[in-house]
Amino acid sequence: MKIIPIKRALLSVSNKEGLIEFAQGLTELGIDIISTGGTSLCLTAAHIPHQKVESITEFPEMLDGRVKTLHPRLHGGILGRRDQHAEEAQKHGIKWIDLVVVNFYPFAEVLKKESIAWDEVIEQIDVGGPTMVRAAAKNFNWVTVVTDQADYKNILSALQNQQGTDFAMRKKLAQKAFALTSQYDAMIHRYFVEHEQGESDKLTLEFSNQFELRYGENPHQKALAYQAANKTGLLSAKQHQGKPLSYNNLLDADAAWTCVREFSSPACVIVKHANPCGAAIADSIDAAYKKAYEADPVSAFGGIIALNRPCTGEIAQAITEIFMEVVLAPSYSDEALAILQAKPNLRVLEIAIEINESWEMKFITGGLLMQERDTQVLTLADLQVVTECKPHEEDLQAMLFAWQVLKHVKSNGILIAKESRTVGVGAGQVSRIDAVDLAIRKAGTHIQDAVLASDAFFPFRDSIDRLAETGVRAIIQPGGSMRDEEVIAACNQHGIAMVFTGKRCFKH
């Protein structure tokens, strides 16, 4: 547990942020510095005394820079146990290295380049850096390893106040170093798998930046959130105001944001308990919000609002007149932000509209499930009219809209829509006819001349019989039931048009 003094440091960093100030601090404390090529140039320009790695190894950088630190005089100086290997180290001219400061080639940044060649990517895989970091982290009993420039200040403070680093600090930094090497290798592995468009029997997930949430699904449950390595999505959103987010807030906000991104037209989606209770598209975002809210104002109470256009002052004023938990938008007008301040507890999130995820994951007991995201978008060409009664043109457009929203409704799911807005949603029911009954009740008088969408086939004609005389005049559903003919006959009997999609859109 003793404090280990630092007499000699090895600096080799790709990210030079804070390097000069840190190196100057080490020099003022009388610590000798060794450094590699690019880092050495930076130190030289700042007139900071140091030795180049080549003067220690007595070998130049070689093989286009692939080999520069892989040498016993460096790794022996890092890995040697001070209480066991001192004599052997002296015999081979190895001097101890007490501080290793390294960060890696920015592999993630390289992957963001468009049309980058495979060979160029491979050259950006750091070998010497991770090797030094792993060596220093393994020998944390004697060596301090620094992989994050955010730690420079604490290191200098420890050296100034106690002339070295204590065991707890070295162990914590070693843990951080192994987390970095693990993430780095996982990122490279993921690139190999994606490049070959193959599969792997190993899956490494990279998450960081732990957030402690207000609570979990219930106030007595503690909850944490971890951000994915790409640092996109809800946890990267800018929160302008409001209380900290809870577990449920994030789940509902994600459901709303995922749904509203379906549309290129101005759209608004209002979510309650992970299900859309109101969704609409219109010529303007103000009109879309009004239509979405009026779809089910009772259920919207305490919900989540997502907009795919900047939030206007008009929408902000409407939001302040009701109780909502969260509002999400790609941006806000100055007027909107000023108005929303009247609701200080309302969480106001600004988030970029970007869709990078091609897979989605769910944890189960003892495992993880993965599937491709449901990115299907139906067109008129995908619809097969199967009834004698043909749908009107406006019904076909309403069906396509309804299907896009229905993809985000928990199954069994039924959605009734009219004029590019939802009017009734029956979500998460254990039987299809129950979902139909709920959607009918929610739609009320708005059901006249509406269309109905079902996320899977109707197993019996009972749902169609229930719709008779309600005013629903067209149905969109996958088809594929052994009783399709009975269902079609029921539609013909009641004068309801029906189209098949050939696809279902379950969401569990």
Q: For the chain, which residues make up each domain, given as ranges?
A: 8-195, 207-350, 380-500
Residue with tokens 């809870």: 246
E-strand ranges in 303-358 read 304-307, 326-329, 347-350
What average pLDDT does the segment 175-191 reach?
82
More confident position, 19 or 116 = 19
pLDDT of 31 above 70: yes
More confident position, 264 or 71 = 264
pLDDT of 322 above 90: yes
**Residue 338: HSE in the Cβ half-sphere, 13 Å Cα cutoff:** 5
What rounded mean pLDDT belongs to the chain? 89
Convert the pLDDT of each residue in 390-448 to its tens digit: 999 999 999 999 999 999 999 999 999 999 999 999 999 999 999 999 999 999 999 99
CA neighbor of 164 nearest in space, from 279, 29, 345: 29
Q: What is the CATH number of domain 8-195?
A: 3.40.50.1380
Q: Which long-range contacts (CB under 8 A, 24 or more apart) does 364-373 make?
A: 368/203, 370/203
The pLDDT, as a whole number, for residue 451 is 98
Q: Do domains 8-195 and 207-350 have the same CATH topology?
A: no
CA neighbor of 14 nearest in space, from 41, 47, 46, 54: 41
State the DSSP code for 109: H
Q: Give one word for 242, left, alpha or beta, with left for phi > 0 and alpha for psi -120 to 50.
A: left
Cα separation, 343 vs 225, whole angstroms = 25
Which of 7, 243, 273, 507 is an active site residue?
273
Quick check: 131 and 140 in contact, CB under 8 A? no
Q: Is 189 a catalytic residue?
A: no
The pLDDT, as a whole number, for residue 230 is 66
Total count of residues recorded for the chain: 508
pLDDT of 61 above 80: no
The pLDDT, as a whole number, for residue 478 is 97
pLDDT of 121 above 80: no
pTM (2 decimals)? Answer: 0.75
More confident position, 59 or 4 = 4
What average pLDDT does the segment 61-82 reach?
77
The pLDDT, as a whole number, for residue 73 is 80
Contacts of 488 (CB under 8 A, 6+ apart): 386, 387, 498
pLDDT band at 82 (very low <50, low <70, confident <90, very high): confident
Select the CATH number that applies to the domain covering 207-350 from these four: 3.40.50.1580, 3.40.50.720, 3.40.140.20, 3.40.50.12240: 3.40.140.20
What average pLDDT does the segment 326-332 reach?
98
Instruction: Give Cα 97 distance to the centre of its chain.
Output: 39
pLDDT of 99 above 60: yes
The pLDDT, as a whole number, for residue 200 is 57
Q: 380-500: what CATH class?
A: alpha beta
Quick check: 497 and 395 in contact, CB under 8 A? yes
The pLDDT, as a whole number, for residue 65 is 65
pLDDT of 352 above 70: yes
Q: Is 202 a catalytic residue?
A: no
CA neighbor of 239 nearest in space, from 345, 83, 100: 345
Contacts of 272 (CB under 8 A, 6+ apart): 252, 299, 300, 302, 303, 304
Highest mean pLDDT among 48-52, 145-149, 457-461: 457-461
Which of 138, 171, 176, 507 is an active site residue?
138
